[in-house]
Structure 1
């Protein structure tokens, strides 16, 4: 019996065609995300149909700066999985300022994990008991030496995250 909740973490997919979304989701569903309990997307989805490409995997997202406002796509949210409180937001501004900005956005709230995007740069840092995590961009690395990346978040005795380079 598996007592760990595993979440697939995405951000900044910037997909524009259904064909690309189907190919992208198929690869993840049959690979890295084959055993996830849910998918969290930290914004800049662009193509709303991406959610339905993941079939019956629960999909939670927030609006990024490139996403139009639409029902069911809040700017930020707090989710609960396996007893952990997870903040989800896109972020804004200069890449090195994003962690501070998103932390301030959840000021006064108790979180165990804060997931964000926007910078396209993988980020993983503990600040006290809070785990800050940016999976990077799944499809646009913006000239960085690293390849595109997604994240896996395991929730068991503690929250453990890792980047997976595609």
Structure 2
């Protein structure tokens, strides 16, 4: 199973498309996971044009997105357990908050966002993965998203690009 991973799109209802590099790069994925901060519910339809999607709400999402997705999920995909959370909050780092949110469940992968910073590290037996942002790179040199392949083992990597057009 090949999964596209995005977070922190921060796009308004006026957005008419996602970046070309993102759409092309996610072509052929089986599923897209969005780790929150969609900002506008209209963005869901843009993502679903690429592939089916599952997500959670972030701290910049309104009641409609919160009601649709919730704030935390534990998914079973291709025999692996995937935790999905935005990672916002106070005290500690975004990664620490995301990891601690799934302390009891101990999933194979925890996908989180919030910081807009690509991150991948194995901690306490879990792969901690932040795709960065495909549309709001903030202090990062490039926009980014992630790919996770679930086969006998978990393979994950980031994809970077320069233009959000």
**Structure 1 and Structure 2 fold alike (TM over 0.5):** yes
Cα distance change of structure 1 residues 13 and 142 upon mapping to structure 2, 3 Å threshold: same
String of CA shifts for 1:79-109, please: whole Å, max 9, x gaps. 1111011000001147971111111111210
Residue of 116, 123, 133 corresponding to 1:120: 116
Q: After TM superposition, what 4+ stretches of structure 1 lie above 6 angstroms from structure 2? A: none
1:61 CA displacement: 0.9
User: Any gaps of 5 or more consecutive residues in structure 2?
Assistant: none
Alignment partner, residue 153 of structure 1? 148
Instruction: For residue 93 of structure 2, give the secondary structure of its aligned residue in structure 1.
Output: helix
Whole-angstrom distance in 2 between the partners of 1:165 and 1:96: 27
- Determine if contact 2:22/2:145 at 8 Å carries over to the other structure: no
Alignment partner, residue 88 of structure 2? 92
User: Any gaps of 5 or more consecutive residues in structure 1?
Assistant: none
1:17 CA displacement: 3.3
Whole-angstrom distance in 2 between the partners of 1:117 and 1:62: 10
Alignment partner, residue 101 of structure 1? 97
Whole-angstrom distance in 1 between the partners of 2:138 and 2:38: 17
Q: How many residues align?
A: 158
